[in-house]
Amino acid sequence: MNFDLSSRLPKKIGPKKPADAESRASEIAAGPGRGSVASMETAAPETASRPRWDEVSVSQITPKMKAEDLHASFGSAEVIKGISLPIAGKLVTAIIGPSGCGKSTSIRCLNRMHEVVPGATTKGKVWLDNQNIYDRDVDPVRVRGRVGMVFQKPNPFPTMSIRDNVLAGLRLNGIKPKDPDGQVERALRQVALWDEVKDRLAKAGTSLSGGQQQRLCIARALALEPEVLLMDEPCSALDPIATARVEELIHELRESYTIVIVTHNMQQAARVANFTAFFYLGQLVEYNRTQVIFTRPKEQRTEDYITGRFG
């Protein structure tokens, strides 16, 4: 007698449950190419020694940088109200939140750019490796060499050629390029711009398209060989194709750099970031692995913001 005995089998002898059930449920938010296959138990172990980002929880982050009770003000107006945030080394951290929540200010505190604005002050500590960058004996210019920044609008120096734009960061920091041609090529190759501009390096940086200009600005930041790259809405002025290129670039740069990206585009955060922090009114509301934030956030305010139920 052969009755249908198989109907209940999947329920009883399904694959062994991964220890962290939520990681599977929330796989959807993982970026392209880093989907479920890579996270299945049968996946081959990665050869690299660095930990798999999707197995690292926020409490296990090995921080490259760390903000500790960070406050920042413009005059008497406090815009960052005591934020503590570890930033994982050689991974991408996204900061999201509504306008005015302190996203941009907070990353400008990470390389001492905030204090450049007249009347702007900072309180608290920011650790870069084992050094508080706000210690008295720390030279902010050196900090900015180690922690580079890319801005919202592509801002190549208008009077400079493509080549000089790449070298501009070095020269402004008083560093004489040892191998200028090699450094220019290396930086432009890193941002996948070399093939597009190698025959016109002497042309003005502003002659490039918006997307190319932004990659040029990223090359300019990379020429200084920073350890951390801060990106303040790097794609908000770009079309979808140029945006996709920058995002692809972020995936590649993650191999060598620690990246912090501020973005208004939540899908972008979901695509590129390993960890996502949600800021609201100058405070850190929630910080977690990106796939957790976008599939099952713990805080109601995060849920309301990312689903568009705000205010």
Partner 1 sequence: MADRRHTDREYENELAQVRERVLLMGARVEDMMTASRKAFAERDAELAKATIRNDHQIDTLEVEIDELCLQVLARRQPVASDLRFITATLKLVTDLERIGDLCVNMCERVTELCEDPTYPTQGPLPRIGEAAQAMLHDSLDAFVAGDATKAEQVVERDNVVDAYYAQLFPELVAHMMSDPTVVFRSTRMLSIGKYIERIADHATNIGELVVFMVRGLDVRHTGPASNNPPFA
Instruction: Between 7 and 99, name the residue whose CB sits nearer to partner 1.
Output: 7
Cα(216)–Cα(220) distance, integer angstroms: 6
Instruction: Between 14 and 240, name the residue whose CB sits nearer to partner 1.
Output: 14
- Residue 123's DSSP bridge partners are 71
The tokens describing 129, both together, are 């490796």
Look up residue 17 and give its amino acid: K
Shortest Å, Cβ 310 to partner 1 = 6
Instruction: Between 8 and 178, name the residue whose CB sits nearer to partner 1.
Output: 8
Shortest Å, Cβ 52 to partner 1 = 20
Asked whether the CA dihedral 219, 101, 74, 82 is positive or negative, the reply is negative
Instruction: Between 173 and 267, name the residue whose CB sits nearer to partner 1.
Output: 267
Residue 51 CB contacts under 8 Å (≥ 6 apart), including other chains: 62
Instruction: Between 87 and 306, name the residue whose CB sits nearer to partner 1.
Output: 306
Shortest Å, Cβ 21 to partner 1 = 5
Instruction: Between 28 and 43, name the residue whose CB sits nearer to partner 1.
Output: 28
The tokens describing 76, both together, are 């008497």
Shortest Å, Cβ 281 to partner 1 = 18
Shortest Å, Cβ 212 to partner 1 = 27
Shortest Å, Cβ 100 to partner 1 = 17
Cα(223)–Cα(148) distance, integer angstroms: 10
Report the interface residues with partner 1, using CB under 8 A.
Answer: 3-5, 7-8, 10-15, 17, 21-22, 24-26, 28-29, 266-267, 270, 294-297, 302-304, 306-311
Q: How far is CA 80 from CA 71, 72, 269, 272, in A?
A: 5, 5, 21, 25
Q: Are 259 and 93 in contact (CB under 8 A)?
A: yes
- Residue 96's DSSP bridge partners are 278
Cα(164)–Cα(156) distance, integer angstroms: 10
